[in-house]
Amino acid sequence: MANLLYLVHRLPYPPNKGDKVRSYHLLRHLLQKHRVFLGTFIDDPDDEQHLPTLKALCPDLHVERIAPRRAKLMSATGLLRGEALTLAYYRNAGMRRWVEQVAQAHELQASVVFSGAMAQYAQPLAPAVPMLVDFVDVDSAKWTQYAPAHRWPMSAVYRREGERLLAYEREVASQARRSFFVTPNETALFLSHAPEAQGHVQSLSNGVDADFFTPDPARANPFAANEQAIVFTGAMDYWPNIDGVSWFVSDMLPRLRAHWPRARFYIVGRSPSPQVQALAGQHVVVTGTVPDVRPYLQHAAAVVAPLRVARGIQNKILEAMAMEQAVITVPSCAEAIGASSAQGLLRAEDADGFLQALQQLLDAPPAQAAALGREARRFVLQGFSWQAHLSGIDACLDDPHQLNATVQEAH
CATH number of the domain enclosing 185: 3.40.50.2000
Give me the mean pLDDT over the 404-410 stretch.
38
| pLDDT given at position 310 | 76
User: Does 220 fall in a domain?
Assistant: no
CB atoms within 10 A of CB 53: 11
Q: How far apart are CA 48 and CA 256, in angstroms?
A: 41
Among candidates 133, 140, 142, 139, which has minimal Cα distance to 201? 133
Are residues 368 and 398 located together in one domain of the fold? Answer: no
Has residue 406 got a pLDDT over 60?
no
Has residue 410 got a pLDDT over 60?
no
pLDDT digits (tens, 9 = 90+) for 296-334: 999 999 999 999 987 689 999 999 999 999 999 999 999
Are residues 237 and 172 located together in one domain of the fold? Answer: no
Mean pLDDT of the chain: 93
Are residues 232 and 264 located together in one domain of the fold? Answer: yes
Alpha-carbon torsion (165, 166, 171, 177), positive or negative: positive
Has residue 55 got a pLDDT over 90?
yes
Q: How far apart are CA 86 and CA 123, in angstroms?
A: 16
Are residues 52 and 25 located together in one domain of the fold? Answer: yes
User: Does 162 fall in a domain?
Assistant: yes
User: Does 125 fall in a domain?
Assistant: yes
Are residues 186 and 233 located together in one domain of the fold? Answer: no
Phi and psi angles of residue 127, each rounded to the nearest 5 degrees, phi first? -90, 0
What one-character DSSP code corresponds to residue 263?
Answer: E
Number of domains in the chain: 2
Are residues 155 and 276 located together in one domain of the fold? Answer: no
Q: How far apart are CA 309 and CA 145, in angstroms?
A: 7
Which of 10 and 76 is assigned the larger pLDDT?
10
| pLDDT given at position 405 | 43
pLDDT-derived band at 399 (thresholds 50, 70, 90) equals low
- Of the chain, the percentage scoring pLDDT greater than 90 comes to 85
Domain housing 288: 228-383
pLDDT digits (tens, 9 = 90+) for 178-188: 999 999 999 99
Are residues 288 and 373 located together in one domain of the fold? Answer: yes
Give me the mean pLDDT over the 272-299 stretch.
97
15 cis-preceded (ω within 30 degrees of 0):
no
| pLDDT given at position 409 | 37
Q: What is the largest CA-CA distance in the chain?
A: 70
pLDDT-derived band at 168 (thresholds 50, 70, 90) equals very high
pLDDT-derived band at 402 (thresholds 50, 70, 90) equals low
Q: How far apart are CA 393 and CA 133, in angstroms?
A: 10
For the chain, the residue count is 411
User: Does 221 fall in a domain?
Assistant: no
Least confident of 21-25, 71-75, 264-268: 71-75
pLDDT digits (tens, 9 = 90+) for 330-352: 999 999 999 999 999 999 999 99
DSSP string for 74-129? HHTHHHHHTS-HHHHHT--HHHHHHHHHHHHHS--SEEEEESGGGHHHHGGGTTTS
Are residues 152 and 31 located together in one domain of the fold? Answer: yes
pTM of the predicted model over 0.75: yes
Most confident option among 150-154, 172-176, 391-395: 172-176
pLDDT digits (tens, 9 = 90+) for 188-234: 999 999 999 999 999 999 999 999 999 999 999 999 999 999 999 99
Are residues 34 and 101 located together in one domain of the fold? Answer: yes
User: Does 214 fall in a domain?
Assistant: no
User: Does 256 fall in a domain?
Assistant: yes
User: Does 133 fall in a domain?
Assistant: yes
Give me the mean pLDDT over the 107-133 stretch.
97
Are residues 391 and 330 located together in one domain of the fold? Answer: no
Among candidates 276, 278, 203, 284, which has minimal Cα distance to 237? 276
Are residues 160 and 292 located together in one domain of the fold? Answer: no
User: Does 183 fall in a domain?
Assistant: yes
Are residues 154 and 245 located together in one domain of the fold? Answer: no
Q: How far apart are CA 263 and CA 358, in angstroms?
A: 11
